[in-house]
């Protein structure tokens, strides 16, 4: 063991810097992959968005040309407003999920089965959800049309064929699994609610809405935060349902930014990579606002926790 | 590495072998080496045809190692880009005319003009035009099919209607059908392209084939008075309630149900709809076909989309691929693969015979004798891709909200100005 020829062994570089270096060594694989698959592509997208490119030939530099086109493109305008509709209406999944969770948070025989049934839509693929809902919405023989027809309402073209209702129809389909997701988050949250606090509140005479608002909900704050995050992200990623249910139609009225981006750059008649990339950049900037808020909020929490 | 080396040797061997003999009897010479085919013939019947082609070609050349990969037809429309650039196969499927444009411009399709000039492809003179871009030929067709109006013969009889020849007849027929509580035309525009078919015919009949092609090439404005006339004619059918309701919610297959149920009398569609109608239980006595009626006094142009085979420029066994293209387009093979029990479409080789099928015979007769205007591919193949997608969306909107026409045309012209860089 003592083969060292050096009479006064000074520690090696690594040994001296172990504390500072080791965390980075552990982080290295993660950083590397994150850089290659996330960070670098972001910059590449920005770079491509300054070009006109069909994905095969040479890129042609057109500066801000793609963005100027976006500013006047009606497809972009429609997609943007639809994205906002998605963002706001999708948030309905949070209160809906909360109330289902409160309803299911009781101990009766077979409650696990009911919970599973409510959770079921989240387990099945979005594609299946989309298909089921598009049959549900079919004009004339779809169940929805039959039901509203009973009340004397006739939506011309069917829910998905009418440009005024199609987006809402898809959002409703998306809410089905998203509500289930929020419900599960709240159910686990409710398990962590402190029974002593509930007991104390009860002794003080709180019940009903007051109990929910001042005692239960504050304790569900972490669950609400996560539900908010996944719902916002889910709304911005809404792509599969649109693709399955309307394919962006009728006449492009159900496009959202992600679908528009796909259509311009990767669909059958697409391959305008530069233009698609510029949409991606805009979408990224919108997401960045939310991501920034989430990060800031988590940072605040951690600071408060210490 | 070993793969490319083997490929080069095979190519060398094949090319030295072929330089001596005329290519015309190329498939008599046994081929060796590899042949990788990537095909989009993924529907059951075309798949069987493609597998049969590979097997038969393999039987003729026992030393040739054929590798066939069949890709989903819809997925192939975007996958072809990767396939042509990285590790390209030797033979691929695609479509004729403008749809070849991006790959021809990017230098990804092999120029096979020499095969057309040296007599290796006898009988293909008539279809050469559809394979020509920039004065060169970039592949071979293997099948095509007619478009036209497929109608319920029994419903026509019941109402005492006959096949219309002029647009007035057509409208008169339609009025009677509408009065009887039925619809004249089934159509499903959810995926847009079916509306493109209607526009093709309306425009080719109102303004002629040449005008239609000028519009496709961006030489005429969408806001042109003549284009408006096309839409005015089209609107007559829309206003009289000729189309089924809510067609924007259906795919073309879903809309077939209206015809098979007897709620709609006819359907402007390609011949590929016939097997579906037969499967739905309609006999040949119940369905028939007529050419789209004339509107103005212009030579009739027809839509007859052509499917094709190409050699990627990056292929490694080009000589084997050429022999395969020659084999596929030869008269006998064409007769066989386009027969009613195979693809059920029209052969591209003039020396082939058309299968004894009511619809194939009528379509063949129509295209060979009554399409003096010219043969178009289809809206989404004749117009540049971006124009086609913007255009079809506008056409669908017009069919639902005809009052939006001015706005639609202005939008299309704006897109055209950018796309054709006017």
Q: Which of A203-207, B4-8, B338-342, B402-406 has the lowest mean pLDDT?
A: B4-8
Fold category of A72-305 in CATH: MetI-like fold (1.10.3720)
CB contact under 8 Å between B249 and A57, yes or no, is no
Residues B124 and B14 in one domain: yes
The closest alpha carbon to A233, from A120, A86, A131, A40, belongs to: A86
pLDDT band, residue A304 (cuts 50/70/90): confident
3-state helix, strand, coil in chain A (%, to 5): 70, 0, 30
Contact between B183 and B244 under an 8 Å Cβ cutoff? The reply is yes
CB contact under 8 Å between B393 and A252, yes or no, is yes
Q: Does B32 touch chain A (CB under 8 A)?
A: no
User: What is the predicted pLDDT for the residue at A252?
Assistant: 86
Q: Are strands B140-144 and B91-95 parallel, antiparallel or unpaired?
A: unpaired
CB contact under 8 Å between B380 and A138, yes or no, is no
Going from the C-alpha of A207 to that of each of A122, A143, A195, B182, the distances in angstroms are: 32, 40, 14, 62
Residues B401 and B254 in one domain: yes
Q: Does position B91 have pLDDT exceeding 90, yes or no?
A: yes
Instruction: Give B-chain residues touching A57 at CB under 8 angstroms.
Output: 105-106
Instruction: Give A-chain residues touching B196 at CB under 8 angstroms.
Output: none
User: What is the predicted pLDDT for the residue at A177?
Assistant: 93
Residues B67 and B135 in one domain: yes
Give exposure, B61-82, as e/b (b: 16+ Cβ within 10 Å).
beebbbebebbebeebbeebbe
Q: What percent of chain B has pLDDT over 70?
A: 93
CA trace torsion A291, A294, A298, A304 (10° rounding):
130
Contact between B133 and B104 under an 8 Å Cβ cutoff? The reply is yes
Cis bond upstream, residue A250 (ω within 30):
yes
How many Cβ atoms from other residues are within 10 Å of residue B289's Cβ? 21
Nearest CA to CA, how far is B103 from chain A (Å)?
8
Nearest CA to CA, how far is A168 from chain B (Å)?
15
Residues B110 and B159 in one domain: no
The closest alpha carbon to B319, from B148, B110, B145, B166, belongs to: B110
CB contact under 8 Å between B248 and A161, yes or no, is yes
Q: Does B79 touch chain A (CB under 8 A)?
A: no
Nearest chain A residue (CA) to B389: A269
CB contact under 8 Å between A247 and B191, yes or no, is yes
Task: Read off the CATH number of the domain in which B6 is found.
Answer: 3.40.190.10
Going from the C-alpha of A45 to that of each of A50, A279, B215, B254, the distances in angstroms are: 9, 10, 34, 39
CA B114 remoteness from chain centre: 25
pLDDT (tens digit, 9 = 90+) per residue, A57-91? 788 999 899 999 999 888 999 999 999 999 999 99
The whole-number average pLDDT for the span B386-404 is: 93
In a domain, B182, yes or no: yes
| Mean residue pLDDT across chain B | 88
CA A158/CA A145 separation, integer angstroms: 7
Q: Encoding tokens for residue A219?
A: 């304790």
CB contact under 8 Å between B393 and A140, yes or no, is no
User: What is the predicted pLDDT for the residue at B219?
Assistant: 92
Q: Is 0.85 exceeded by the ipTM?
A: no
A55 against B332, higher pLDDT: B332
CB contact under 8 Å between B77 and A268, yes or no, is yes
pLDDT band, residue B16 (cuts 50/70/90): very low
CB contact under 8 Å between A161 and B108, yes or no, is no
3-state helix, strand, coil in chain B (%, to 5): 55, 15, 30
Instruction: Give B-chain residues touching A251 at CB under 8 angstroms.
Output: 248, 393-394, 396-397, 400
Residues B39 and B70 in one domain: yes
CB contact under 8 Å between A54 and B106, yes or no, is yes
In a domain, B277, yes or no: yes
Residues B408 and B331 in one domain: no
Q: What are phi and psi of B310, to 5 degrees?
A: -135, 160
Query: What's the domain count of chain B?
Result: 2
User: What is the predicted pLDDT for the residue at B422?
Assistant: 66
In a domain, B363, yes or no: no
User: What is the predicted pLDDT for the residue at B228?
Assistant: 96
Residues B259 and B390 in one domain: yes
User: What is the predicted pLDDT for the residue at B327?
Assistant: 93
Q: Does position A131 have pLDDT exceeding 60, yes or no?
A: yes
Q: Which of A253-257, A264-268, B57-61, B309-313 has the lowest mean pLDDT?
A: A264-268
CB contact under 8 Å between B248 and A268, yes or no, is no
Contacts of B340 (CB under 8 A, 6+ apart): B355, B356, B357, B360
Which of B85, B246, B380 shows the shortest C-beta gap to A139? B246
Q: Does position A32 have pLDDT exceeding 70, yes or no?
A: yes
Q: Encoding tokens for residue B172?
A: 């008169």
Q: Length of chain B, please?
A: 422
CB contact under 8 Å between A268 and B102, yes or no, is no
Which of B192, B249, B394 shows the shortest C-beta gap to A139? B249
The whole-number average pLDDT for the span A130-157 is: 86
Which of A139, A266, A272 shows the shortest C-beta gap to B386? A272
B410 against B372, higher pLDDT: B410
Q: Does position A229 have pLDDT exceeding 60, yes or no?
A: yes
Q: Length of chain A, please?
A: 306
Which of A55, A74, A269 shows the shortest C-beta gap to B386? A269
CB contact under 8 Å between A139 and B191, yes or no, is no
CB contact under 8 Å between B246 and A252, yes or no, is no
B195 against A252, higher pLDDT: B195
Contact between B68 and B39 under an 8 Å Cβ cutoff? The reply is yes
User: What is the predicted pLDDT for the residue at B88?
Assistant: 92
Residues B27 and B133 in one domain: yes
End-to-end CA distance of chain A: give it in Å, rounded: 45
Q: Does position B416 have pLDDT exceeding 60, yes or no?
A: yes
pLDDT (tens digit, 9 = 90+) per residue, A213-228? 888 888 898 899 999 9
CA A210/CA A130 separation, integer angstroms: 38
The DSSP H or E segment spanning B65 is strand B64-70
Interface of B with A in 246-285 (CB under 8 A): 246, 248-249
Q: What are phi and psi of B110, to 5 degrees?
A: -75, 135
Local structure of B297: helix, strand or coil? coil
The whole-number average pLDDT for the span B14-36 is: 57
Nearest chain B residue (CA) to A252: B393
pLDDT (tens digit, 9 = 90+) per residue, B219-250? 999 999 999 999 999 999 999 999 999 898 88
Residues B77 and B173 in one domain: no
Nearest CA to CA, how far is A267 from chain B (Å)?
7
Instruction: Give A-chain residues touching B407 at CB under 8 angstroms.
Output: none
Q: Determine which of A52, A54, A56, A165 to mutate to test the interface with B (most B C-beta atoms within 10 Å).
A: A56
User: What is the predicted pLDDT for the residue at B125?
Assistant: 81
CB contact under 8 Å between A250 and B396, yes or no, is yes
CB contact under 8 Å between A56 and B397, yes or no, is no
pLDDT band, residue A9 (cuts 50/70/90): low
The whole-number average pLDDT for the span A178-201 is: 90
Range of the domain at B88: 2-144+306-352
pLDDT (tens digit, 9 = 90+) per residue, B353-391? 888 888 998 998 898 888 888 889 999 889 988 899 999
Q: Encoding tokens for residue B345?
A: 């479409």
Q: Encoding tokens for residue B165?
A: 């020849």
User: What is the predicted pLDDT for the residue at A189?
Assistant: 92
CA B161/CA B169 separation, integer angstroms: 9
User: What is the predicted pLDDT for the residue at B147?
Assistant: 94
Which of B191, B246, B386 shows the shortest C-beta gap to A158? B246
User: What is the predicted pLDDT for the residue at B158?
Assistant: 93
Nearest chain B residue (CA) to A58: B106
How many Cβ atoms from other residues are within 10 Å of residue A231's Cβ? 24
Contact between B308 and B95 under an 8 Å Cβ cutoff? The reply is yes
CA A130/CA A240 separation, integer angstroms: 8
Contact between B240 and B183 under an 8 Å Cβ cutoff? The reply is no
The DSSP H or E segment spanning B378 is none
The closest alpha carbon to B61, from B312, B329, B311, B323, belongs to: B323
pTM of the model: 0.83
- Chain A residues within 8 A (CB-CB) of chain B? 54-57, 69, 74, 138-140, 156-158, 160-161, 246-247, 249-252, 263, 266-272
pLDDT band, residue B20 (cuts 50/70/90): very low
User: What is the predicted pLDDT for the residue at A8?
Assistant: 56
User: What is the predicted pLDDT for the residue at A108?
Assistant: 85
User: What is the predicted pLDDT for the residue at B351?
Assistant: 87
User: What is the predicted pLDDT for the residue at B87?
Assistant: 87
CB contact under 8 Å between A267 and B248, yes or no, is no
User: What is the predicted pLDDT for the residue at A6?
Assistant: 54
Contact between B295 and B233 under an 8 Å Cβ cutoff? The reply is yes
Local structure of B169: helix, strand or coil? helix
pLDDT band, residue A3 (cuts 50/70/90): low
CB contact under 8 Å between B249 and A268, yes or no, is no
CB contact under 8 Å between A160 and B105, yes or no, is no
pLDDT (tens digit, 9 = 90+) per residue, B121-162? 888 887 888 898 889 999 999 999 999 999 999 999 999 999
CA A189/CA A194 separation, integer angstroms: 10
Contact between B140 and B309 under an 8 Å Cβ cutoff? The reply is yes
Residue B294's Cβ-side half-sphere holds a number of Cα atoms within 13 Å equal to: 11
Burial classification of residue B138, based on how many CB atoms lie within 10 Å of its CB (0-12 exposed, 13-18 middle, 19 or more buried): buried
Residues B127 and B168 in one domain: no
User: What is the predicted pLDDT for the residue at A275?
Assistant: 93
Instruction: Give A-chain residues touching B400 at CB under 8 angstroms.
Output: 157, 161, 250-251
The whole-number average pLDDT for the span B21-31 is: 53
CA B24/CA B326 separation, integer angstroms: 8
Residues B125 and B192 in one domain: no
Residues B220 and B256 in one domain: yes
pLDDT (tens digit, 9 = 90+) per residue, B38-47? 999 988 888 9
- How many CB pairs lie under 8 A apart between chains A and B? 72
Q: Encoding tokens for residue A215?
A: 């005692």
């Amino acid at each position: 063991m003592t083969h060292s020829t050096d009479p006064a062994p000074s520690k090696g570089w690594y040994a001296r810097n172990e504390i500072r270096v080791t965390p980075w060594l552990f982080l290295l694989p993660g950083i590397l992959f994150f850089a290659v698959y996330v960070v670098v592509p972001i910059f590449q997208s920005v770079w491509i968005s300054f070009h006109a490119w069909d994905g095969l030939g040479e890129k042609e530099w057109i500066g801000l040309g793609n963005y100027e086109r976006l500013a006047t493109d009606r497809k972009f305008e429609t997609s943007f407003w639809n994205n906002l509709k998605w963002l706001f209406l999708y948030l309905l999944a949070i209160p809906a999920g909360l109330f289902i969770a409160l309803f299911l948070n009781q101990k009766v025989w077979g409650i696990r089965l009911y919970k599973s049934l409510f959770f079921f839509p989240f387990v099945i693929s979005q594609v299946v959800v989309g298909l089921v809902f598009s049959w549900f919405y079919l004009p004339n023989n779809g169940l929805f049309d039959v039901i509203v027809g009973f009340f004397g309402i006739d939506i011309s073209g069917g829910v998905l064929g009418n440009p005024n209702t199609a987006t809402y129809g898809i959002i409703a389909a998306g809410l089905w699994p998203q509500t289930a997701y929020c419900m599960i988050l709240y159910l686990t949250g409710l398990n962590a609610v402190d029974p002593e606090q509930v007991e104390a509140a009860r002794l003080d005479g709180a019940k009903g809405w007051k109990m929910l608002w001042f005692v239960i909900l504050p304790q569900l704050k972490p669950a609400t935060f996560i539900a908010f995050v996944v719902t916002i992200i889910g709304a911005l990623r809404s792509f599969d349902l649109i693709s399955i249910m309307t394919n962006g139609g009728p006449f492009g009225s159900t496009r959202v930014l992600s679908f528009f981006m796909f259509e311009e750059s990767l669909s059958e008649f697409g391959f305008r990579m530069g233009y698609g990339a510029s949409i991606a950049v805009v979408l990224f900037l919108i997401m960045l606002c939310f991501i920034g808020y989430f990060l800031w909020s988590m940072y605040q929490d951690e600071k408060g926790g210490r | 590495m070993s793969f490319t080396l083997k490929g080069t040797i095979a190519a060398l061997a094949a090319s030295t072998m072929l330089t001596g003999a005329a290519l015309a009897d190329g498939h008599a010479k046994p081929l060796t080496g590899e042949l990788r085919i990537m095909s989009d013939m993924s529907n059951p019947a075309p798949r069987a045809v493609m597998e049969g082609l590979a097997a038969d070609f393999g039987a003729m050349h026992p030393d040739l190692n054929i590798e066939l990969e069949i890709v989903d037809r819809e997925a192939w429309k975007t996958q072809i880009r990767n396939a042509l650039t990285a590790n390209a196969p030797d033979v691929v499927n695609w479509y004729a005319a403008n749809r070849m444009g991006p790959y021809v411009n990017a230098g990804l399709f092999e120029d096979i003009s020499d095969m057309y000039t040296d007599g290796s492809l006898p009988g293909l003179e008539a279809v050469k035009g559809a394979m020509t871009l920039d004065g060169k030929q970039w592949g071979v067709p293997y099948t095509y099919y007619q478009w036209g109006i497929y109608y319920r013969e029994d419903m026509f009889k019941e109402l005492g209607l006959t096949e219309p020849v002029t647009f007035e007849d057509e409208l008169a027929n339609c009025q009677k059908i509408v009065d009887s509580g039925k619809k004249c035309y089934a159509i499903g525009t959810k995926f847009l392209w079916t509306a493109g078919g209607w526009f093709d015919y309306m425009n080719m009949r109102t303004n002629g084939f040449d005008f239609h092609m000028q519009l496709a090439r961006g030489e005429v404005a969408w806001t042109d008075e003549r284009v408006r006339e096309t839409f005015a004619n089209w609107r007559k059918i829309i206003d009289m309630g000729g189309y089924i309701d809510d067609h924007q919610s259906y795919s073309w297959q879903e809309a077939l149900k209206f015809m098979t149920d007897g709620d709609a009398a006819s359907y402007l569609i390609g011949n590929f709809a016939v097997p579906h109608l037969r499967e739905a239980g309609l006999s040949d006595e119940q369905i028939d076909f007529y050419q789209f009626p004339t509107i103005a006094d212009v030579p009739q142009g027809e839509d007859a989309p052509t499917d094709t085979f190409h050699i990627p420029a990056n292929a490694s066994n080009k000589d084997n691929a050429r022999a395969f293209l020659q084999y596929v387009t030869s008269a006998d093979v064409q007769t066989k693969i386009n027969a009613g029990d195979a693809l059920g479409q029209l052969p591209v080789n003039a020396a082939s015979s058309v299968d004894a099928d009511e619809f194939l015979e009528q379509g063949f007769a129509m295209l060979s004798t009554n399409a003096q205007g010219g043969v178009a591919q289809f809206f989404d193949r004749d117009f540049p891709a971006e124009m086609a997608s913007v255009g079809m969306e506008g056409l669908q909107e017009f069919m639902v909200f005809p009052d939006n026409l001015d706005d639609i045309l202005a939008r299309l012209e704006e897109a055209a100005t950018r796309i054709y860089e006017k």
